[in-house]
Amino acid sequence: MSSQCPIAIDPMVGDLAGETARLRDAGPITRIDLMGVTVWTVTDHALARQLTTDTRLVKDINAWKLFADGVVGNQWPLIGMVDVDRSMFSVDGAEHRRLRLKTAQALAPRRLEELRPRIEALTAELLDDLAAAGADGTPVDLKQVFAYPLPMRVVGDLMGVAREDHAQLLDWYKKFFSVMTPQDERLRVIGELDVYFTDQVRKKIADPGDDLTSAFVVADEGGEALTEEEAIGNIKALVAAGHETTVSLIVNTVRALLNEPEQLAKVLAGEVDWKQVIEESLRWDGPVSHLLMRFATEDITVGDTVIEKGEGVVMSYRAVGRDFAVHGETADEFDVTRSTANRHLAFGYGPHICPGAALSRLEAAIALPALFARFPNLRLAVPDSELGNLPVLTQNDLAALPITLN
């Protein structure tokens, strides 16, 4: 298997379902071509758990031979996903624990309960916008009007990023993630984000507030202050991750339920918990198709495959969610009553497991029931076959979700 020619991942994401199945069916670990660059990807649940806890794989891009040799650089469209500042996303071991500590504390489930009223208020505000946009049965894009602004407002509050900057940030991230953005423009956007977040951190150093960015730059019972560079790396990682992924979680869950009216009816009748629905959505159609990347610091043998020192390893978490060995032969079906629903790795696994998992679950658990309570007659405004993904290779990002409200 592993000696076969690498499976080219379609940057236009023309057939995500087909591609996910092909990857899974190619075996637990397989070579893929990411826009001209060959790496390994893991599509098997057990192997993903094993390799995300294997300390021989690291996040530091300098361990990547293709990068160190200059084969991969600023001209590669995905460079911004891997060549990032020093932060909890790019460091391992004891330093990683230090860089992650304050975030883990701020995002602990108990602390998050304090955010609940705020998330409920933001949701209510956006439901009003949705009602206004979709009055008289006009089709409206649920993503654009409702799901897209919400996570940015939540993570913005958490990090202390002012509402007047959100439109600009959303626009930068749209360009950052799309493979259609010309590379010189993407590099310019990365530079803009750098200037913006550097300024943000400096402002908090000068005048700390009640937000996580400020917590990074002051010493407290949670530990020493991070350096300016580390704080910038962390805020960049958290705003990007907090925004982009949670939009998809909300959109993909609504889409799945609107396509399965019998399952939706059970949920609305209280026979199935929203928490269970959210887990099944994460498993079946999670926000992250491919998580870039880890690098081997020595040869790692996996069955009859050797990941050579210096090679890159991707985790294809969407395919992992469809693992037959874990979810049985119905793995490709959306089923809110599935007993294995929460056995997914949509938030990763091991030391780098998503620190925002509980926050994103909370956002979805507030937004989804509120949406269906307000608009019980929600329907897709177009056949599902007309929906398609944005040209974003790593993320499972629907372009739009046109709906009618009543």
Residues that bind ligand STR (CB under 6 A): 80-81, 84, 89, 236-237, 240-241, 244-245, 288, 291, 395
- Please, what is the minimum distance in Å from the beta carbon of residue 289 to ligand STR? 9
Residue with tokens 């946009």: 133
- Please, what is the minimum distance in Å from the beta carbon of residue 198 to ligand STR? 12
- CA neighbor of 258 nearest in space, from 401, 394, 139, 98: 401
Strand partners, 29: 42
Whether 48 and 315 have beta carbons less than 8 Å apart is answered as yes
- Please, what is the minimum distance in Å from the beta carbon of residue 372 to ligand STR? 26
Those residues whose C-beta lies under 8 Å from the C-beta of residue 330, and which sit 6 or more positions away, are: 338
Those residues whose C-beta lies under 8 Å from the C-beta of residue 172, and which sit 6 or more positions away, are: 189, 192, 193, 196
- Please, what is the minimum distance in Å from the beta carbon of residue 89 to ligand STR? 4
Whether 58 and 297 have beta carbons less than 8 Å apart is answered as yes
The counts of H helices and E strands in the chain are: 18, 11
Whether 252 and 289 have beta carbons less than 8 Å apart is answered as no
Whether 293 and 63 have beta carbons less than 8 Å apart is answered as no
Compute the distance between CA of residue 30 and CA of residue 228 in angstroms, rounded to an integer.
Answer: 39
Nearer to ligand STR, 89 or 349 (CB): 89
Nearer to ligand STR, 288 or 331 (CB): 288
Compute the distance between CA of residue 107 and CA of residue 97 in angstroms, rounded to an integer.
Answer: 15
Nearer to ligand STR, 241 or 380 (CB): 241
Strand partners, 31: 40
- Please, what is the minimum distance in Å from the beta carbon of residue 194 to ligand STR? 8
Nearer to ligand STR, 127 or 232 (CB): 232
- Please, what is the minimum distance in Å from the beta carbon of residue 348 to ligand STR? 7
- Please, what is the minimum distance in Å from the beta carbon of residue 180 to ligand STR? 17
Compute the distance between CA of residue 110 and CA of residue 124 in angstroms, rounded to an integer.
Answer: 23
- Please, what is the minimum distance in Å from the beta carbon of residue 19 to ligand STR? 17
Those residues whose C-beta lies under 8 Å from the C-beta of residue 331, and which sit 6 or more positions away, are: 321, 322, 323, 324
Strand partners, 307: 300
Compute the distance between CA of residue 285 and CA of residue 273 in angstroms, rounded to an integer.
Answer: 18
- Please, what is the minimum distance in Å from the beta carbon of residue 167 to ligand STR? 19
Q: Give Rg (Cα) of the chain.
A: 21
The amino acid occupying position 27 is G
Q: Which two tokens stand for residue 220?
A: 């407290």
Nearer to ligand STR, 80 or 160 (CB): 80
Whether 276 and 340 have beta carbons less than 8 Å apart is answered as no
Nearer to ligand STR, 237 or 331 (CB): 237
Beta strand 379-380 pairing with 300-302: unpaired
Nearer to ligand STR, 19 or 403 (CB): 19
- Please, what is the minimum distance in Å from the beta carbon of residue 16 to ligand STR? 15
Nearer to ligand STR, 44 or 244 (CB): 244
Whether 296 and 41 have beta carbons less than 8 Å apart is answered as no
